[in-house]
Amino acid sequence: MTADSSIAAPGTDYAATASEAYRAALKVIESVEPRIAEATRQELADQRDSLKLIASENYASPAVLLTMGTWFSDKYAEGTIGHRFYAACQNVDTVEALAAEHARELFGAPYAYAQPHSGIDANLVAFWAILATRVEAPGLAELGAKHVNDLSEADWETLRAKLGNQRLLGMSLDTGGHLTHGFRPNISGKMFHQRSYGTDAQTGLIDYDAVRAAAKEFKPLILVAGYSAYPRRVNFAKMREIADEVGATLMVDMAHFAGLVAGKVFTGDEDPVPHAHVTTTTTHKSLRGPRGGLVLATEEYAPAVDKGCPMVLGGPLSHVMAAKAVALAEARQPAFREYAQAVADNAQSLAEGFTSRGARLVTGGTDNHLVLLDVTSFGLTGRQAESALLDAGVVTNRNAIPADPNGAWYTSGIRFGTPALTTRGFGAAEFDKVAELVVEVLSNTQAEGTSKAKYATADGVAARVHAASSEMLAANPLYPGLTLS
Ligand SMILES: *Cc1c(COP(=O)(O)O)cnc(C)c1O
């Protein structure tokens, strides 16, 4: 890792200038609500001292963060660029147009929509845009005057039938799909007749023939590809082939791996954008931007996506769209490609660190930014492993593994991701050390009796691991040179 692939230093006095900005901002906040200023300081201190391995988190640059704290937050701008339901939106137009332009250029997409407030919002916009493009929808009046929250299962059935019995085929939650890909309790599982595809029971990999067979039988309107916890690349060209064979729209949710697409680690068949009709993403995960979402679309779907407001969204978060523009400008720099490659290389190192120490990984390894460790071989549930690691200052999240024997709450897996610590400058050696520390904690932790939650770690282990990780963190500081006092 070279210094310029981190968020550290676009200019020599960058850290000093950012420090000044944050000190001033905290002083202003302090004058109104000192406890918020204090919590803000504490959050930085805590983030600086934690080994953040949560695969969906990252650290945005001070430029991105500072962009969010402006008066753009005060502006209403419902509508689209140049066509707003509110007056005096000329500067929001500039911001949204730039965010969309950077997104189109970065991802090579014909159209980009920068308004979604989050990944879930981006998916809702995409779902409704696909329905609006492909299905003759009835007016709401036809459905009666009920509030959607009051709809019974039978009402939903009627609603779906009226909308053309739309079907959605997505990756199952336990093999790495997201809850917006048709999970029953989520709106996506209610709007659509839903079915899931999983992974091969032996290899843990997506079996494209099985996806094709499911698609042929189920005939989905939408085929969703993308994941939150699948440690492998996906062949989106094949997914598109399958979608075309059954007349489905291919929607790819690249929320997790957008940074690897932006950084050209995923190209050709692994780049979803040229293959999908509609691509959605978050901007705050591997893409390292502000908390938000984006929708990319082909010309065919663009007009419907552009109606995200008022279809799904209200007023856009103009301050966040501005920060998206800044983050996307950063991602178009050559340094971001180095970063993205380092994220993938570091995941390899982490995975090898685990397997060389005898730990079992779902699919046996990784070729993206995340690693899914099966903790059953340590005699633990995901919940116990997550807690024991947290005691040692290692922040991860428990995650179901395919056909999880402990269910979605306790789980049997721990998901690790490299985007955040790579931003801090961790390289292959540090990630091998991370694997060593994790294995040290887990192999010294035991379940208490038959409990799926209680555990005990051998004396001294958590403290020793915490000290070793603090040393690595100190050598790779978060926001180097940024001081609040
Ligand atoms: C994180 C994630 C989302 C949701 O993003 P939010 O910003 O939390 O709403 C959607 N899809 C996938 C695949 C994700 O990983």
Number of H helices, E strands in the chain: 19, 17
Cis omega before residue 402 (within 30°)?
Answer: no
pLDDT for residue 142? 60
pLDDT at 462 over 70: yes
> How many C-beta atoms lie closer than 10 Å to residue 37's C-beta?
18
With 60 as the cut, is the pLDDT of residue 60 above it? yes
Question: How many whole angstroms from 120 Cα to the centroid of ligand 1?
Answer: 6
Query: CA distances (Å), 209 to each of 9, 137, 219, 264, 384, in order?
Result: 47, 33, 15, 27, 36
- Give residue 221's pLDDT: 93
pLDDT band at 7 (very low <50, low <70, confident <90, very high): low
pLDDT in tens, 293-311: 999 999 999 999 999 998 8
Report whether pLDDT(139) > 50: no
352 in a labelled binding site: no
If you average pLDDT over residues 145-151, what whole number do you get?
Answer: 52
Mean pLDDT of 24-37: 98
Rounded distance between C-alpha atoms, residue 55 and residue 396, angstroms:
8
Tokens coding 354: 């685990």
Q: Is 43 exposed, middle or buried (0-12, 13-18, 19+ CB in 10 A)?
A: exposed
Task: Examine the pLDDT at 277 and tell me if it is beyond 80.
Answer: yes
Residue 143 CA to ligand 1 center (angstroms) comes to: 30
Taking only the tens place, the pLDDT of each residue in 200-231 is 999 999 999 999 999 999 999 999 999 999 99
pLDDT in tens, 172-205: 998 999 999 999 889 899 889 999 999 999 999 9
Write out pLDDT tens, residues 252-273.
999 999 999 999 999 999 999 9
> Which residues does ligand 1 sit against, CB inside 6 Å?
56, 118-120, 123, 178, 180, 226-228, 253, 255-256, 282
Q: Measuring CA to CA, how many Å separate 458 from each of 157, 463, 477?
A: 54, 10, 30
Q: Shortest CA distance to 485 belongs to which of 27, 70, 61? A: 27
Residue 138's pLDDT is what? 47
Token pair in block for residue 40: 């803000």
- Asked if residue 253 lies in contact with residue 280, where contact means CB atoms within 8 angstroms, the answer is yes
Closest protein CA for atom 6 of ligand 1: 119
Structure confidence at residue 133 (pLDDT): 83
In this prediction, residue 146 has a pLDDT band, given cuts at 50, 70 and 90, of very low
Which residue has its alpha carbon closest to ligand 1 atom 8? 119
Torsion angle, CA of 181/182/186/190, rounded to 10 degrees? 140
pLDDT tens for residues 335-384? 999 999 999 999 999 999 999 999 999 999 999 999 999 999 999 999 99
pLDDT digits (tens, 9 = 90+) for 310-337: 889 999 999 999 999 999 999 999 999 9
Which positions ≥6 away from 311 have C-beta within 8 Å?
Answer: 125, 128, 129, 132, 304
Q: How many CB atoms lie under 10 A from the CB of residue 27?
A: 10
Atom of ligand 1 nearest to the CA of 117: 7
Atom 5 of ligand 1, nearest CA residue: 119
pTM to 2 decimals? 0.93
Name the residue of 123, 282, 291 whose CB sits within 8 Å of the most ligand 1 atoms, as the mutation to test its pocket: 282
Read off the pLDDT of residues 79-106 as tens digits, 9 standing for 90 and up: 999 999 999 999 999 999 999 999 999 9
Q: Give tens-digit pLDDT for 108-119.
A: 999 999 999 999
Mean pLDDT score, 130-151: 60
pLDDT at residue number 140: 46
- Alpha-carbon distance of 347 to 137, in angstroms, equals 45
Q: Chain centroid to CA 332: how far?
A: 19
Q: Is the pLDDT confidence value at 147 over 70?
A: no
* Phi-psi region at 316: left, alpha or beta (left = phi > 0; alpha = psi -120 to 50): beta
Phi-psi region of 280 (alpha: psi -120 to 50; beta: other; left: phi over 0): beta
pLDDT over 90 percentage in the chain: 86
Cα–Cα distance, 467 to 245 (Å, whole number): 55
Q: Does the structure show a pLDDT above 60 at 42? A: yes
State how beta strands 293-297 and 278-282 pair: antiparallel
Predicted pLDDT of residue 157: 76
Substitution candidate for ligand 1 out of 58, 120, 313, 320 with most atoms within 8 A of CB: 120
Least confident segment among 32-36, 239-243, 405-409: 405-409
Q: Was 144 annotated as part of a binding site?
A: no
Complete DSSP assignment for 139-189: PGGGG-S--GGG--HHHHHHHHHHTT--EEEEE-GGGT--GGGT-TTSHHH
Please give the mean pLDDT across all residues of the chain. 93
Atom of ligand 1 nearest to the CA of 284: 7
**Integer Cα distance of 173 and 228 in angstroms:** 9
